Structures are given as C-alpha cells and as structure tokens.
Structure 1
C-alpha cells in the first residue's frame, strides 16, 4: 500500500514541480516563508526520506544539521526529485513488515518531535509532501503560473 501511495503522489508532485520557473527561484511570498527554491527543493527531497527512515533509527538535527541540495534550475530540480523517488521506492520495495514496525525518532537533541513506527513516519513523510506541494500551489498561483490538477481538475486544468 505504501508503494502504491508513493507512486500516485509522485505523479502529482512531478506535475507541480514541472511548473516551477527558473526565473522565480529566489521569490518568496513573505519574509517568514521559504523561497520557491527552498520549498521546491524540500518537496523534491522528501521521497528520499523513505530511505532515511528505513535505514536509520532516527534523525537528530542537532547531530546532523539540515543542508539542502543546491538546485539552480528546473532540470536539476526534476532530476533531484526523480533520484529521491527512485531511492525511496527501491528501499520501500525491499522493506518487510518487521522493518516497517521498528521505531523511528525525529529529534533535535533532547527535543523529540516524533516517535513512531517506520511505516507511520513514512506516511507522515507523504503528508509532508502533500502539505508542501499545496504551499507551492499557493506560490504558483501568486506568481500567476497555472496550477495542475491534483486529485481532480484545477481552475487552470479543468480537463485533468
């Protein structure tokens, strides 16, 4: 089920990332918001978190500070997404129930953000993709870039 969901969400994510224009990478809608580059890069990397979750007991941001992949253009963004997706999908295809049932922790030092089964955190990762993809949709709308349909038609893509 997790593989099927990953594949379905990847189709929509791919369509959304494909709309990100090279000349808007440094744009942000608000000073507290991520730039288009930061947001799109995070969306592209998230399928790779499946591998991270399956192959580690935790992620501690205090011990491993977040360093995003430097993305300069549309082609690099889509390539990064496809690599992340392939890596995550390959690891998930090899996972068994015992491995998916193991505990996984997301923390920053002593501050624990999440402690759940690996399968539950993979679902959380999918939810993060959907959440950030929706944010990107708002960014694109504000930039007057047509939004692709996701789970049905959009105002810009009525035929879906």
Structure 2
C-alpha cells in the first residue's frame, strides 16, 4: 500500500467537502456564536480553513510549541478571503504530503505549550490528527450553519436538506 497516495486521496476528498461547507459561511454572521464558550463563526471557519496547512507542520517540523509564538491564526475580513485561505492551506498541505518520504512517517512529532504536551505522536500521527481535526471542526461548522437555518450539504452521503 502506498500510504502517501492514500493520504493524498483522502485530502482531496475531505478538501472537497470542506470547500463546500466554507462556501456557505455568511460573512454578515461572522461574529455569531451559539454559546459564550463557543468560537465565533469566523474563528471556527478560519480555523477549519487553516487545518490543511498542518500537514506542512507535520512534514517540515518535528514540533510545534504554541508558547514560542510561531503559530498565529490568520486574520480574514470576508468570505472571499476565507475561501482563499482554505485554497492556500490546501495547496501547502498537498505539496507537503507529496514531498513526505514514507520512511519519515514514523519520526516523532510533538505539539506543546511549553512544558505541557498536547500531542506526542509521529509525523503520520500528526497527519491523522489533522484529518480528525478537519472532520471534527467541519461537523461543528455544520451545527453552526444549521442553527442559522442554512441548508447543509452532505459529507459522506446526502444530508437531510438534500433528501428533501
């Protein structure tokens, strides 16, 4: 099995689903959140749009330390910038996976905030984590959109909105 090829196929599939969801985010509701502890719609959508670039983090680095300030969320102002951010992240992630040698998949990879370790895995584990984060946050976005009465597209089959 060619693991890199499989990851690229999964990226393409998940990217298409994510692209459909992000295209529905209404910029006039960017500041809306369903609960005080929730991210705003803009924060959630921006985070989701950035996740494909995490594959480059997995490939090009062995660690991400949030306390070192190397990671800052991208600021967007409108829907066009949100979709452009996703496309940029997607292309960066795809390019990273294409240059990832399969032999490097089992190299250690750590996500931390100083001494606090959030994820201690391998480069492959970080790639899988990014896929899981995409699916998780896309599902959150679906709930946000549903609460705003925006019809939801199907992810792995038709949605209730598409079924009529």
Q: So what's the TM-score if we normalise by structure 2?
A: 0.94
Question: Is contact 1:149-1:158 (8 Å) kept?
Answer: no
Given the alignment, which residue of 60, 73, 78 partners 2:78?
A: 73
Tell me if structure 2 keeps the 8 A contact 1:46–1:125: yes
For 1:148 and 1:69, the matched residues in 2 are separated by: 26
Do the aligned partners of 1:45 and 1:81 also contact (CA within 8 Å) in 2? yes
Query: Are 1:84 and 2:86 counterparts?
Result: no
Query: Does the Cα contact within 8 Å between 1:140 and 1:147 map onto a contact in 2?
Result: yes
**TM-score, reference length from structure 1:** 0.96
**Counterpart in the other structure of 2:3:** none
Number of residue pairs aligned between Structure 1 and Structure 2? 159
Structure 1, 21-30 or 64-73: larger mean CA deviation:
64-73
Post-superposition offset of 1:66: 4.3
Q: Report runs of 4+ in structure 1 exceeding 4 Å deviation.
A: none
Q: CA RMSD in A?
A: 1.1
Q: Which protein is richer in helix relative to its size? A: 2
DSSP 3-state at the match of 2:105: helix
**Structure 1: stretches of 5+ with no match in the other structure:** none
Q: Which of 131, 135, 156 is residue 151 of structure 1 equivalent to?
A: 156
Q: Distance in 2 between matches of 1:147 and 1:27?
A: 18
- Per-residue CA distance 1:115-150 (angstroms, 9 max, x = gap): 111011101100000000000000000000110110
Query: How much has 1:65 moved relative to structure 2?
Result: 6.0
